[in-house]
Amino acid sequence: MDVGCEVKLSAMKLRLHQFLSKTGVFASKRAVKDAVWAGDVTVNGSVVKDIAFQFKPNKKEVCYRGERLALPTTERCFLLNKPAGVVCSRLNSQERELGKQSVFECFRHHLPDQDFERLITVGRLDEDTTGLLLVTTDGTFAHRVASPEHHVSKRYAVSTAQPVSNADREKLRTGVEIELESNGEVDIYMTQPAVVEGGENLTTILTLAEGKKRQVRRMFASLGHEVLALERLSIGGLHLVDFGLPEGSFSEIDLNEASEMLFHHSTDKRP
């Protein structure tokens, strides 16, 4: 994050639990809440037990057990080759009991605790989907990339059990109807036109500028195709192949460079 963005973050109002989470001092949201409710957090010398208390970090002094806390001054971004079998979220107790694994474990022993605890994914990939995933400490950057208004393209290699016919490829290019669930209700959604390459040899290259939940799998399912494997190849002008990363490995990338490749090369395509 550049200096201008950092000043903006410090000048804007934050809820107390948001501020505490961003400091990287606490291991979880539960730890943040417990510290506040226990009276271990003060704002300008007064104990505050309301996690939703709002204030401007640049005008208030926050302490935890007498130690002053501050927001980090730099943000970081990483490009990860996500392996299969990991989820793009922090694990809750039920997921741990089920033996689930989090994508964040790829970073645990490679970053300072303060940075590790602030990591978020830029959008999500399904548990069984592999490939390019951006992980950052910068929530503003993550929101920009994921926002539909920016139309950042995402390119996937889709492996199916049967070849995708010319007719089906044409349907993908014009849009197909998929079912989306929201608040227990199922709605029919018409996907935006996609760029489609290949398909004759059981692998189709699909480029989208949107990202509904499990959208690629739902699109192919609507045409009667089972997706056997799904890999994200690129986001905008960031191509996984350029980084030479084995599954589970990551490379740090400058946020300004990432923004340039994402927002100024969003229509970039490769054969």
Cα dihedral 71→74→75→79 (10° resolution): -150
- Cα 58 to chain center, whole Å? 28
Contact 36, 17 (CB under 8 A): yes
- Cα 54 to chain center, whole Å? 26
DSSP, residue by residue, 50-62: -TT-EE-TTT--E
First to last CA, the chain: 33
In the numeric block, which tokens belong to residue 225? 């195709």
Alpha helix segments (H runs only) across the chain: 3-11, 16-23, 29-37, 93-97, 113-118, 139-146, 166-174, 215-222, 255-263
Catalytic annotation, pick one of 40, 115, 126, 268: 126
Contact 250, 78 (CB under 8 A): yes
Burial class (CB in 10 A: 0-12, 13-18, 19+), 184: exposed
Is 126 an active-site residue?
yes
Contact 57, 36 (CB under 8 A): no
d(CA 196, CA 166): 10
In the numeric block, which tokens belong to residue 16? 């107390």
d(CA 34, CA 40): 9
Residues identified as active-site: 126
